[in-house]
Structure 1
Amino acid sequence: MMQVTVDITKRDVFLVSLAMIPRLKGNWIFMGVLALAIFVLVLVTRTPDTLYSLGVAAVAALGGALGGGLSALTINVATMLFKLDAGNPMLGRHHYALTDTGLELRAGKQDSMLPWASIASVRRLSGYIVFRLNGNGVFLLPRRAFSSGEAFQAFWRQACALKGA
């Protein structure tokens, strides 16, 4: 059984959130739908009469979608960080243990045993091991919890092997 203990901070949550933003399919779908809506709105309100004005409308729609998407993501991340206080179980001391049956987690007053079937994926992401649950939950484990890069890699490889078994 491999185990590790670490203090999870707001900084950890922020960094993992930033790293996950471009990797989540829903964010790209949102920006695509937003770009299409802006483009249709431009076509309805100002009918382009040349190919150049149609291109300008398309670029404006992409820029508006990028700006709108980034604004929404910034507001969401800021709101999440604002709501995380010292009593939140996502922050503070976490003890992780890998077992044949699942991931044991102790955080504050909560003890959990997450069977491997309830974990959608185990990924390395910008200096973190991220356990993504079926649904929207995640548990993160920073590299600093380990004495060396080799120990970090070994924990990640063991988690992947157990998840795949």
Structure 2
Amino acid sequence: MLCGEIMEVTTDIKRNDLIRFNLAILPRMRSTYVTILSIAILVFAFIAWNKGFPQSNNDWFVIIAAAIGGGVGGMFAGVLISFIFILFSSSSSNGILGKHEYKLSSEGLYEVTSSNEGLSKWGGIQEVKVVGPYILFRISGFLFHIIPKRSFSTTEDMHSFVTEALEHWKNAHNKAN
């Protein structure tokens, strides 16, 4: 695990990792709630336009319940479609699934897969944290590198890796401010 000053880990990303990660991150993302609210407002507006503005308490209850149900249902449908897309578009040939080697250095997070390799500099990484059974490196809004906790021999190795990553990340972001 420790190689001089560079920490590294090798993992094997599977389809179920992508689904589990998305399920773990979904409730923590502001965009989830913005989407639900946006769909709910659209449902409310459509019902009010189609049936008229609510006139009684019962009408208000029905239209609000329908709007909330529509928002949650719409979000659920979107997540389901997203999962189907993830399952069909992810493969080891495009570097999403399969073996990933990650190395931490003072420059950034270095990744090697069967189809690509690259460096994400610490200043360009938006977030580093543990979410459920995964360590996440948020590169941009919806682009992540994930490392399952199972990739480490011990919990201590995982904590050392996370601590080192957070230290590099905080140093890069403190310089930027």
Q: Does TM-score exceed 0.5, indicating one fold?
A: yes
Alignment-mate amino acid for residue 60 of structure 2: L
Q: How big is the shift at 1:137? A: 1.7
| 2:91 is the alignment partner of 1:88 | no
TM-score by length of structure 2 reads 0.87
**Stretches of structure 2 lacking an aligned partner (at least 5 in a row):** 1-5, 172-177
Q: What is residue 175 of structure 2 aligned with on the other side?
A: none
Question: Which residue matches 1:73?
Answer: 79
Residue 6 of structure 1: SS of its match in structure 2? Answer: strand
Q: Are residue 152 (structure 1) and residue 123 (structure 2) matched?
A: no
**Corresponding residue of 2:27:** 22
What SS does the corresponding residue of 1:7 show, helix, strand or coil? strand
1:129-140 residue pairs with structure 2 within 5 A? 129-140=135-146
Aligned equivalents of 1:142 and 1:136: distance in 2?
18
Size of the alignment, in residue pairs? 165
* Structure 2 match to 1:9: 14
Aligned to 2:63: 57
Cα RMSD for the two superposed structures: 1.4
Separation of aligned partners in 2, 1:40 and 1:111: 48
Q: Distance in 2 between matches of 1:76 and 1:135?
A: 15
Q: Give the match's secondary structure for 2:142.
A: coil
User: Residue 58 of structure 2 aligns to which amino acid in structure 1?
Assistant: Y
Q: So what's the TM-score if we normalise by structure 1? A: 0.93
> 2:95 aligns to what SS in structure 1?
coil
Q: C-alpha separation between the residues in 2 aligned to 1:72 and 1:7? A: 27
**CA-CA distance at 1:77 after TM superposition:** 1.4
Matched position secondary structure for 2:126: strand
Give 1:109 deviation, angstroms.
4.0
Q: Which segments of 5 or more consecutive residues in structure 1 lack a partner in the other structure?
A: none
User: What's the % identity of the aligned pairs?
Assistant: 28
Q: Does the CA contact (< 8 Å) of 2:93 and 2:115 recur in 1?
A: no
